[in-house]
Structure formats: structure tokens, C-alpha cells
Amino acid sequence: MLDRSGFGRFAETARLVLVALRDGPRQNVRLFDAVRALDGPVGPGSLYAAVARLERRGLIEGQIGADGRRLYRLTDHAA
């Protein structure tokens, strides 16, 4: 379960990002679409703030995909 401390108002969005990444890595746009499908309107600022907090905690990591776009995936710490 996600420890909500330090996430502030982005805690729910952070949880949704983790759920959206369970099926595998996603590009920014696909991640945004998946989170919105789970919870309705989520703004890009909220999404990126949650992603940044998850990265700092080592729960997700960003990578550059074969097409040069950024992908996010869960780390072993998130499992």
C-alpha cells in the first residue's frame, strides 16, 4: 500500500499511477490516458507532480524508449 506521507494532495493521483503501471511500462501520454480512465479528469500538473514524487521514492523509474520517448515503469520497490 502507498504510504501517503510526503505526497500531499497528489496521494490519490500517485496511487492511480501505480495502478496504471501494473500492466507494464507506459509513455507519458498513455500513462495520462490510463490514469484519467481510472479516475476521470486529472490535470497534467497533478500527474507530473505525482510521477516526480514516485520517482524520488524509487517506486517508479523513467526510461527512454526505442522511439526516444520517455517511459515509466514500476520498480521492484513498488511490487
Predicted confidence (pLDDT) per residue in 41-56, tens digit = 888 999 999 999 999 9
pLDDT digits (tens, 9 = 90+) for 27-42: 989 999 999 999 778 8
Task: Give the list of residues 6+ apart from residue 29 with CB closer than 8 angstroms, or none.
Answer: none
More confident residue, 9 or 57: 57
pTM: predicted TM-score of the whole model, two decimal places:
0.85
pLDDT of residue 77: 83
Buried b / exposed e across 48-68, counting CB within 10 Å, b at 16+? ebbbebbeebebbeeeeeeee
Please provide the CATH number assigned to the domain covering 8-78: 1.10.10.10
